Structure 1
Amino acid sequence: MIELASFVRKVAPLEWAFLGIEPGLRVMQHLVEGDGTISPMRLTAAVAAAARVHRGVRLIRHEDRWVDSGVAPLVRVLEADSLDPARLDAPALRAPFDELTATCEVLLVPGSPSTVVFRADHAVMDGRGLLMWARDVFRALRGEDPMGAPDDDGIEELLRRLHPDGEPPRAGDRGLSFRSLLGPRPREQEGLLWRRRTVDGTHLAATSKVAAAVAAAHGPGRFHIPVDLRRHLPDLRSTAALSHAVDLEVEAGDGWEQVQSRLLAALADHRDLAGGTDPAIMELPLPMLREGIAHLDRTAADADRYSGRACVSHLGTVDPDDFSADGFRATAVYALGGMTPGGPPEIGLVELPGRTEITVSWYDGPDVAARADALLDTVEEALSPRANRRWAGNRLGQPLPGEESVVRLFREQVERTPHRTALSGPEGEVSYLELSRRADAVAAELRRLGAGPGTVVGLLAGRTVASIAGLWGVLRAGACYLPLDVRHPDRRLSELLTDAGSTLCLVEAPHQERNCFPAGCRMLPLDALAADGAPADDPRPDDAETHPGDLAYVIYTSGSTGRPKGVQIEHRNLLNYVHWATREFDIDADTCMPLLTSPSFDVSGTSVFLPLLTGGEVVLMRDDPQHLSLRRLLTGTRANALNLTPSHLDLIGGLDIAPDGYRSVVVVGEQLRVEVAARAQEMFGPKCRIINLYGPTEATIGCTAHTYDEETDAEGTVVPIGLPADNTTVFLLDAERRFVAPGEVGEMYLGGAQLARGYLGRPDLDRERFPRLADGTRVYRTGDLARVLPSGELQFVGRIDDQIKIRGHRVEPAEVARALEEHPAVDRAVVVPRAAIGHNSKALYGYVLVNRAVGTRELTAHLAERLPAHMVPAALVVVPELPYTVSGKVDVRALPDPAGSEPDGRVHGAPRAAFFADPLAEAVAGTWARTLGVERSRLDGQCDFHRLGGDSLSLLAMLAGVGRELLDTAAEEAFMARLPDILREPTLERVTALVRQACIEATGV
């Protein structure tokens, strides 16, 4: 005799009907897959905690009553290999409940992935109720208080509340009219079969799209659409079975829009409330009811006729965070349905951010699995057409010429050409053998200090022989290098070394006294280590064994969270790029390529690795690129290939020279405009290829490329970014992570062999920026928008956020704003990219709310101590308040003009007449106006070039224009020697004064 607990509720007619179904067929199950582990003890405690506030999970049947057993559901731990997520044929999933002893339980399946299975008898719970309970179990696992389900009403009580003036309407007999989608069910019971498919994206009207697709593929019919009746009482928290099915008739030619319209009309008419079960069913004893249902099922099986074409059950959208806890991160949530008397197969849908889980449930039997997979193909095609998912431009499976690491490839190149020139520049020429000996000396010292795989070694050096030797020395030691820009402020360098956990840093002599080495990071004098290298008669030290998955380098990029993030590039990533780019850019032993960019900019890898692994030569350019140094490079060295940004290429286009013998110019880092490419093609000649390379740091230097074509590219404004590299994939997805149709704009998700390991020490960002597609493909979400052109190549379109490129470097405005807010006078800062005055490009502008008087020069100096120069805004503006939109976001359009225009349209209001009476000042002002694209009348002597929106490269373009138009060669050299003075005070008046002084120095007049 069962002692009745405090709670007793009469079994509802619908629940009695479910009790008539064979127990093994009426079990509802939600599976939560995830990375990590959950201990059985923790899970058991969490289930018990949730059960205390979920009476519905403790119910057992006593005759025609549900009673509270007071006992929490059982937690069972299965063997790690007992559940195959692909087949879902574990016996534990088919096990029935005895409603006299338990109606819910939890299964824990450790492994990879780990899986938690929530199971409930459909007589006491529906799919939404099961989700409610599962969420609370995970709340308890996280140490949070479960929300509970205090409402005890079953479906009859709910219907009476919704129909207070009369009896709820009852559904009529559906009849058995439709053949099964999956073939006749076997007469002899073989249990249930489930198949699963994951589809990318979340899909508007997914239920209607599925129904329309199934009707088109299998003929018209009736579709059962379960509807959660809690929608009528949104505050209701009950786990009971509170769902009714709405029936929709769908014709074979119906579009999903028509089906959706009918479904919405049915919900508006409250047809979901007409699904109540006739109370007379309670008069049938369970044995008689079960025999009647069994007879109905046998009749359906014999005739292969069922009550509908399919049951399409959509459980809505779930958040993986709700099903995660310490040590366990949910990656998928999906449902396995049961069967109803004479009912059709069930198609279950659950949406998660960026993906939709689909399952099919039916009776097991011969060929059912194959037919279920074919049905899933139909559903997948309806939601995610194959034509959108498959792009011919993705070239996977391309064999590499070899599997040796770049370390081994460089050693072999040294052995082939020991006396060939590897490096040239201000320090003279360095042979492959000498560079190798210097690298060996660095490697030997690093190994002596314990460096090896996983060790991040800082490299603070410029474009010098020692820097290249240090790079190869780190790689030969088996460690990975962290390139640091010598122009960055000490605080920035210290933060990067700390974040990377670097205990060793190779440092050139000019920087060894800097205050940038955190505690625990040992400074190693790079010049001394690499000065002479290992003696020629010493046996070379063996290179550390390098595995494809070892790190080669870590490079930091700007962070949207306010912190820079370290991108981890493995040897396998680098090797794929080297082999592809060497072929794509036509690099060989005759290639002589300058190193123009900072080693901390990942595109420098093109200039370093490609020539040195083919017997070519690297020209080291000590000075930063500007028009004079670029002219000397192009006309006074052996260089015959270039690797540079579009801005630098644009600067070269203004030089009055005709470089000879160039074979390729690789342009990377920013959008390449057609006019810049066309001018470069004319300058370098028809035999030189102008190659537009695209690729974020996270995809190893460059991952798509296009060679400029004067005929086909002239029609556009920007040069296409081309086709992916070997073994690299590009997918275009929309905001809901659905594949876009050919020709439509989508965000670029990159995959394949060059995809970085992730961000150093940032698993949160890895989850956000390196998701997996439905088929398991790991990708990088770029934030870049692109489309596939009719030619089959990619065209870059823009960004989905505020990130901009400055001098080829990514800049996240949030990181700049955070640095501004570290100033004690700043209460709030907003940094936005906006069009520079008269420019097509964008620049950064900062707006600050302050708590005391502070000058913008002080704030700029504050930023200069913390950020690289390219991240310091072109102008800072102190504002009394920030304008907001109705949605609570800063209204960028309402922010004041950073140039501070006066009513007469001038940028400043200082007296002008005397200054512009000078013809030289008038000429310099004309150059400014043409460079910046502003009206000449807006300028006066106090104009600041940067405040007008000019960046460092447009400043160089302006200086080149001044030199070309106003100065002879000697005067131009004298003028450019004062570049540091110009950078400190880039006003029109100051530049004019320096031009005059240069003329005097050059001529003595």
Structure 2
Amino acid sequence: MEWVFLGMGPGHCVAHVVEGEGSLTVDQLTRAVEVAAQASPGMRLVRQGKRWMDRGTAPSVVVLDAAGGLLNSPALQRPLDANSRTCEVLLVPGTRPTVVFRAFHGITDGRGLLQWAADVFRVLRGEEPLGADSRLNDGELIQGLDRPGGLPPAQPNPKLEWPPLLGSRSPGSSGVLWRRRAVDGRHPAATAKVAAALARTYGSGRGRFFVPVDLRRHRPELRSTASLARAVQLRVEVGDGWQEVQQRLLTLLATDAELAPQFADSILRTPLPVMRLVNAGIDYFAAKKNQYNSLAYVSHLGNVALADFCAGDFQANAVYPLGTTGPGGPLEVNLLESAGRTEITVAWHNGPGLAKRAEAVLDTIEEALCPREHRNWAGNRTERPLPSQRSVVELFREQVERTPERIALSGPEGEVSYAQLSRRADAIAAALRERGVGPGDVVGLLAGRTVAAMAALWGVLRAGACYLPLDTRHPDARISDLLTDAGSTYCLVEKPYDTRECVQSGCKPLILDDLAVDGAAPKDWQDVVPAPEDLAYVIYTSGSTGRPKGVQIEHRNLVNYVHWGTRAFDVDADTRLPLVTSPSFDVTGTSVFLPLLAGGQVILMPEDPNHLSLRRLLEESGANALNLTPSHLDLIGQLDLSPTGYRTVLVIGEQLRVEVAARAQQMFGPDCRIINEYGPTEATIGCTAHTFDAELDGGSAVVPIGLPADNTTVHLLDADGRFVAPGETGEMYLGGVQLARGYLGRPELNRERFVHLADGSRVYRTGDLARVLPSGEIECVGRIDDQVKVRGHRVEPAEVAQALEEHRAVDRAVVVARSRAGQSGKALYGYALTNSAVTSEELTEHLAAVLPSYMVPAAIMMVAELPYTVSGKVDTKALPDPFADESPSAAPTGTAPLTPMDPIEEAVADIWARTLGAERSRLEAQSDFHHLGGDSVSLLSMLAAVCREVLTPAQEAAFMAELPKILAEPTVERVAALARDARG
């Protein structure tokens, strides 16, 4: 009723703003408004005499030019007309459209208007509107409540006693001032926190606030757009913290204080013209005497999902309210939660200098909800200009021209100079350009760690395209899926992989051995210089939805990493860095780009890492730096070596345990830096680093991940999206120039993982938990989800489970990661509900045919049923332990009777027990290494121990030459037999 008394000026209109990206036309919006208004006739009300009537005409849609800023637009100051127009929709067109829903507060309130706005977007999506057909007003709703004891007593009539938050204003000033701010996170008790902060800052510790309460809470089933908000008076006393204020507010709500009568019957019988004159007088004297009925109105509209305000090509990125003003009233503060942040707007009568004061109020509220010390971590001061704006393509060409005869690559194929590598890359680039390949194209690359692969990588980049590195060890089905998903027309293939089925269908294979010939490129060949936003490469990682996802890295991402990494890791012309990891692993970029762009040398290691190949690498290759995973570093630590001349050991991909780092430091000597690097693929290889210090880091289990890279940021947010206090644990959100473009062809996943902070910064949600140590550096402490690292590769168990369910005998599958006693890290274990007889070996073979080896579970169990929690989720803790019974009866069925072990088998079994953390008494000749939970890295550790303890140095080469036989049958008996043959 009070809004009827006040009239329909701009301060008496409730409004909501929906900002977005994409496209939204006037015609589309007009049609949706008409349908939504038909379903909610309350949005079509006009005043006829003393009654509100449905005029049957939908609110108008008006195109708005907001060139001077939306909040300063005259259209928002335009009063509505009770006799013809009580609601309107404004559209700011363009590539970043904005929709404003405005309505007279007498016919709707904030929640009612939000409800109707969501219906408009529901129609835009092609859905039926939910509608709101209730005709109840606030008085009728209250009278209809069955409340024992009747209504609460009337609230005290507020006196004009409180000074305004924004200072004095001139009587008769017109118009409404709006200012907006957003803070990160959802903030429980936000109303109380805001009231306490405003009272402390502007009311000498005390104050009265009006808090609107939605009457719909008493009728949850009610769908109504009517104005159903009633305010309660909330007092803050000197010394109150927000907790006391919150308790007082909860008491008001518990006693239904908002149901108390607000006006005497005599006031309700006052003619409207007279009441409006009275209100105008109240407002005049309040402004003249600087006395108001409260410090502020504080209204919290709850949480909205941005998805409810998306339709077609239009994607909402912000929804926020524009509040109202009243006679003798102070400013209004409105809060609304959406998309992991809290929108804050203030509304106040306009006047000179008030905009600056409104910003000060917003500063006070922001500090109360999101303290500056939580937001502004000193470690994020990483701004650093790049020494060059040139791309890696240009930088490599310049390096070739400076040092054409310097050795760029070395390895089993011999030495290759920069000039030779460059000519081979030119030949490949020219071949691609002849076929129309250029910027925007994704070219597959199926090759090992060879000269041809390095030439192909640079050839693709010089052609202006981006490369998709593929692992030759992955099954054909996996490679085919990635090429198809990436839309690759061509795939550069090294022999003998050209005969594989994966490159014989879909894209066109180009044989590297035929393309990479010296002098094959035109003499006038010119590199295609990429733009900063052009793609450099796409790398696929495991996906929680069951599909791998392609991460798109742009040239600007890559060049920032190159400059930071070169400086942070002391890479120069003397650096000789081996290429140990798979080309499909993004950390390979460190071993390729950093040395070659600094005039250094890449040492190629075609064979997979094992203790023999790593020993040769450390002792014979001439390398003076390493880039590898913690698992490989752990394996190296088990070798009896004392390598010399190493300057840097760069470790990335998994958590680095202090004991592994300490052992490496002792092995490589005090002059070698052991650097722990952290970074998901989505943040371009690595984005933080810490140099291990045995004295400072020795008291922890894991090595810190350090500080952010140049021009990158790390933010720690809690489960509600709020910045955590220093020292507290939060999820890492990464920002800055190294952030990937996003996932290829996965817009829904991009919206989920690449989000924006309240200040507009684009960040990536890692799912990794971390905290800032007293030293000021970051320590990674775990995951918020089921994702696990296996040999440095990210694995989503959901993707493995989906692949398992594709087997005809499996109805349902669950895959979990768990640790075993005596083993570092985690391994995958599968559980299957089956519809027919099948063995774990069959299921393992099925997965090996479609997934990389590191994604195949260490063991698969058939279960009769899956345990569930009370919330309906699979109870992973209640799943059986695959290795709970490692007795003789647990041996694979169908095997021959077991015979006593000889001394060599006994020695092998002892090594297995230490490696696997299993009880020695439960190991037998037919025990399978993988069935006992061993993965490929622990297998290599076991083999290294066999060579060290059972064989002589002269015998281990013959033993390791039989590695394929061991992989095919990794049993105690088989390993012992091959060791016996090597000794023989």
What is the TM-score normalised by the length of structure 1? 0.96
Name the SS of the counterpart of 1:992 in structure 2.
helix
Match of 2:72? 89
Can you list the C-alpha shifts for 1:121-165, whole angstroms capped at 9, x where unaligned? Answer: 011111111111111111111111111111101111112112678
Match of 1:107? 90
Match of 1:72? 58
For 2:902 and 2:511, the matched residues in 1 are separated by 52
Displacement of 1:840 in angstroms is 3.2
Match of 2:697? 713
Can you list the C-alpha shifts for 1:247-303, whole angstroms capped at 9, x where unaligned? Answer: 011024311111110000111111111143333223322221111111110010100
The yes-or-no answer on 1:129 pairing with 2:115 is no
Extract unaligned runs of 5+ from structure 2. none
Letter of the 1:111 counterpart: G
Equivalent residue for 1:776, pick from 760, 780, 786? 760
Displacement of 1:414 in angstroms is 0.6
Letter of the 1:173 counterpart: N
Name the SS of the counterpart of 1:751 in structure 2.
strand
The yes-or-no answer on 1:361 pairing with 2:344 is no
Match of 1:189? 173
Displacement of 1:97 in angstroms is 0.8
Match of 1:984? 968
Tell me if the contact between 1:169 and 1:276 (Cα under 8 Å) persists in the aligned partners.
no
Which of 277-286 and 742-751 deviates more? 277-286
Can you list the C-alpha shifts for 1:915-935, whole angstroms capped at 9, x where unaligned? Answer: 444111111111111111222
Letter of the 1:89 counterpart: N
For 2:69 and 2:964, the matched residues in 1 are separated by 66
Name the SS of the counterpart of 2:380 in structure 1.
coil
For 1:264 and 1:713, the matched residues in 2 are separated by 47
Match of 1:669? 653
Name the SS of the counterpart of 2:324 in structure 1.
coil
Equivalent residue for 2:811, pick from 827, 832, 845? 827
Tell me if the contact between 1:906 and 1:938 (Cα under 8 Å) persists in the aligned partners.
no
For 1:67 and 1:950, the matched residues in 2 are separated by 76
Displacement of 1:825 in angstroms is 1.1
Match of 1:678? 662
What is the TM-score normalised by the length of structure 2? 0.98
Can you list the C-alpha shifts for 1:304-352, whole angstroms capped at 9, x where unaligned? Answer: 1110011000001001111111111111111111112211110000001
Tell me if the contact between 1:214 and 1:378 (Cα under 8 Å) persists in the aligned partners.
yes
Letter of the 2:111 counterpart: R
Displacement of 1:700 in angstroms is 0.5
Match of 1:10? none
Tell me if the contact between 2:400 and 2:418 (Cα under 8 Å) persists in the aligned partners.
yes
Residue 902 to residue 469, structure 1, CA distance change in 2 (3 Å) = closer
Tell me if the contact between 1:561 and 1:815 (Cα under 8 Å) persists in the aligned partners.
yes
Which of 934-943 and 119-128 deviates more? 934-943
Equivalent residue for 1:428, pick from 414, 435, 453? 414
Match of 1:157? 140
Match of 1:464? 450
For 1:905 and 1:362, the matched residues in 2 are separated by 80
Match of 2:479? 493
Letter of the 2:124 counterpart: L
The percentage of counterpart residues that share the same residue type is 64
Which of 160-169 and 507-516 deviates more? 160-169
The yes-or-no answer on 1:26 pairing with 2:12 is yes
Which of 790-799 and 124-133 deviates more? 124-133
Which of 943-952 and 372-381 deviates more? 943-952
The yes-or-no answer on 1:177 pairing with 2:161 is yes
Match of 1:261? 247
For 1:669 and 1:915, the matched residues in 2 are separated by 42
Name the SS of the counterpart of 2:496 in structure 1.
helix
Displacement of 1:591 in angstroms is 0.6
For 1:633 and 1:840, the matched residues in 2 are separated by 25
Equivalent residue for 1:438, pick from 412, 416, 424? 424
Q: How does 1:185-584 map to 2 (within 5 A)?
A: 185-219=169-203, 220-517=206-503, 519-534=505-520, 539-584=523-568
Q: How does 1:597-996 map to 2 (within 5 A)?
A: 597-899=581-883, 901=885, 915-996=899-980
For 2:318 and 2:583, the matched residues in 1 are separated by 41
For 1:102 and 1:82, the matched residues in 2 are separated by 25
Letter of the 1:276 counterpart: Q
Tell me if the contact between 2:827 and 2:858 (Cα under 8 Å) persists in the aligned partners.
yes
Match of 1:62? 48
For 2:572 and 2:415, the matched residues in 1 are separated by 19
Which of 167-176 and 450-459 deviates more? 167-176
Name the SS of the counterpart of 2:378 in structure 1.
coil
Displacement of 1:395 in angstroms is 2.9
Name the SS of the counterpart of 2:379 in structure 1.
coil
Can you list the C-alpha shifts for 1:88-140, whole angstroms capped at 9, x where unaligned? Answer: 11111111111011211111111353111111101111111111111111111
Name the SS of the counterpart of 1:516 in structure 2.
helix
For 1:439 and 1:991, the matched residues in 2 are separated by 44
Tell me if the contact between 2:822 and 2:914 (Cα under 8 Å) persists in the aligned partners.
no
Extract unaligned runs of 5+ from structure 1. 1-13, 1001-1005
For 1:768 and 1:828, the matched residues in 2 are separated by 26
Tell me if the contact between 1:56 and 1:152 (Cα under 8 Å) persists in the aligned partners.
yes
Name the SS of the counterpart of 1:563 in structure 2.
coil
Tell me if the contact between 2:152 and 2:260 (Cα under 8 Å) persists in the aligned partners.
yes
For 2:10 and 2:677, the matched residues in 1 are separated by 59
For 2:938 and 2:887, the matched residues in 1 are separated by 27
For 2:385 and 2:821, the matched residues in 1 are separated by 49
Tell me if the contact between 2:546 and 2:799 (Cα under 8 Å) persists in the aligned partners.
yes
Tell me if the contact between 1:576 and 1:753 (Cα under 8 Å) persists in the aligned partners.
yes
Name the SS of the counterpart of 2:614 in structure 1.
helix
Tell me if the contact between 1:34 and 1:115 (Cα under 8 Å) persists in the aligned partners.
yes
Tell me if the contact between 2:160 and 2:291 (Cα under 8 Å) persists in the aligned partners.
yes
Letter of the 1:128 counterpart: R
Letter of the 1:840 counterpart: S
Can you list the C-alpha shifts for 1:411-448, whole angstroms capped at 9, x where unaligned? Answer: 11111111111000010000000000000000001111
Name the SS of the counterpart of 1:683 in structure 2.
helix
Name the SS of the counterpart of 1:823 in structure 2.
coil
Displacement of 1:186 in angstroms is 2.1
Letter of the 2:841 counterpart: R
For 2:615 and 2:545, the matched residues in 1 are separated by 40
For 1:755 and 1:339, the matched residues in 2 are separated by 43
Displacement of 1:904 in angstroms is 8.8
Tell me if the contact between 1:837 and 1:948 (Cα under 8 Å) persists in the aligned partners.
no
For 1:519 and 1:295, the matched residues in 2 are separated by 83
Name the SS of the counterpart of 2:75 in structure 1.
helix
Displacement of 1:519 in angstroms is 4.9
Tell me if the contact between 2:331 and 2:348 (Cα under 8 Å) persists in the aligned partners.
yes
Name the SS of the counterpart of 1:692 in structure 2.
strand
Displacement of 1:77 in angstroms is 1.4
Tell me if the contact between 2:152 and 2:257 (Cα under 8 Å) persists in the aligned partners.
no
Tell me if the contact between 2:820 and 2:917 (Cα under 8 Å) persists in the aligned partners.
no
Tell me if the contact between 2:374 and 2:726 (Cα under 8 Å) persists in the aligned partners.
yes
Tell me if the contact between 2:8 and 2:82 (Cα under 8 Å) persists in the aligned partners.
no
Can you list the C-alpha shifts for 1:770-818, whole angstroms capped at 9, x where unaligned? Answer: 0000000000100001100000000010000110011100000000011
Q: How does 1:33-52 map to 2 (within 5 A)?
A: 33-52=19-38
For 2:430 and 2:67, the matched residues in 1 are separated by 50
Residue 553 to residue 350, structure 1, CA distance change in 2 (3 Å) = same
